[in-house]
Structure formats: C-alpha cells, structure tokens
C-alpha cells in the first residue's frame, strides 16, 4: 500500500497494491498494520447504492459518536469530499476531494473531526465505508452541500439531494464541535 498524507492533518489517500490478471483483480482494502499510528477500531461497515448526480452529505457525528471513515468504491465512480471542521485546525473550513472508482481502487481515510459527503459521477455507484463509531441519529449533524462559503465543486450539473440534506445548516451556523 502507498499511503499519501494530504494537506489536511490526518486525512490519508491510500493506493493499495492491486494484483490483476485475465481473471480480474485482487487487493487488500484494509490491513490495520499498514495504517501506522492508527488508534481506532472499526465497529460498523456501511454500503450505499446511488444513482448518477446524487449528492450525499456533508454529514458528521458529534461526541462519543464522532466517526472516522475508511472510504472506497465497490463499483462506479464518485467524488469523495471531506471538510475539516476541527475548530483549532490550521485547515478549519478547508475541504479535500478525491475521485474514487472501481478502476483506480483509491481508498480515503477520513478521521473524526471531518464532515463527509460524495457525489456520483457514473450511472450508478456502490460506496462502502468502515466506521470507528456506531451511527447515532441524536448525534448526527449535516452541513449544506452547496454552501457558497465552502465553494465545493461536486462535479455534477443537476444534483439529486435528499430533503434532509437540503435542510442542513450553513457552515457558519454549525456549532464548533471539534477541537484538536
């Protein structure tokens, strides 16, 4: 695995070693020992299937339910987006985006303290992420995906967004839930 640090502290891009031949391919999508300094255990795996132009996010959880996420695409192609919401971080309010696809096999580690979302660039995508905390409806929060202050290019022209996500708060309205 090649592990690349990003400009956002703790956020990693992982390029697994893929072994391909005429039958298909094989790769390890997670191996704890490769994420040196990684102090989390995964407790929940989530899989979503979404149609083209779907935008999901920007979601996060607070308190003991704050989640780190190890994200990858099983099929299709998405734009994965992580927004630093750690109030004392030098990159507070900055975002990182990375295309994840069944062809590039890229995996992204998003630590707690980030809001997360993605948009679907292919006709359909199946997205999987391992979480370090259980889902908690009471501790779930969301930031409006198209907040002009954030200026995130989701790479879709006609976004399909849930009512819940359309009712999300602006970035300037969220409580400062995370400190480094």
pTM over 0.85: yes
- Enter the tokens of residue 86: 């750690």
Domains in the chain, CATH or no CATH each = 2-173 (2.60.120.10)
Q: What is the pLDDT of residues 16-51, one digit of tens each?
A: 888 899 998 888 887 777 665 667 789 999 999 999
Non-local (6+) Cβ contacts of 27 within 8 A are 16, 17, 18, 19, 105
Query: What pLDDT score was predicted for residue 180?
Result: 52
Query: What pLDDT score was predicted for residue 91?
Result: 96
Q: What is the pLDDT of residues 83-126, one digit of tens each?
A: 999 999 999 999 999 999 999 999 999 999 999 999 999 999 99
In percent, the amount of the chain with pLDDT more than 70 equals: 96
> Which positions are catalytic?
59, 129
Query: The tokens 């400062």 sit on which residue?
Result: 176
Q: What is the mean pLDDT of the chain?
A: 93
In percent, the amount of the chain with pLDDT more than 90 equals: 79
């Amino acid at each position: 695995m090649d592990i690349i640090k990003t400009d956002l502290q703790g956020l990693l891009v992982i390029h697994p070693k893929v072994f391909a031949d005429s039958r298909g391919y094989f790769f390890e999508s997670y191996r704890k020992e490769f994420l040196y300094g990684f102090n989390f255990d995964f407790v929940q795996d989530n899989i979503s299937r979404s149609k083209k132009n779907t935008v999901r996010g920007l979601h996060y959880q607070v308190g003991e339910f704050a989640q780190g996420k190890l994200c990858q695409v099983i099929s299709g192609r998405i734009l994965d987006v992580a927004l630093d919401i750690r109030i004392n971080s030098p990159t507070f309010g900055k975002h990182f985006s990375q295309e994840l696809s069944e062809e590039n096999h890229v995996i992204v580690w998003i630590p707690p303290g980030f809001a997360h979302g993605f948009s679907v660039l292919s006709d359909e995508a199946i997205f999987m992420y391992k979480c370090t905390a259980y889902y908690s409806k009471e501790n779930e929060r969301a930031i409006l995906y198209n907040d002009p202050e954030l200026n995130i290019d989701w790479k879709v022209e006609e976004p399909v967004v849930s009512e819940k996500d359309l009712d999300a708060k602006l970035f300037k309205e969220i409580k400062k839930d995370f400190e480094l």
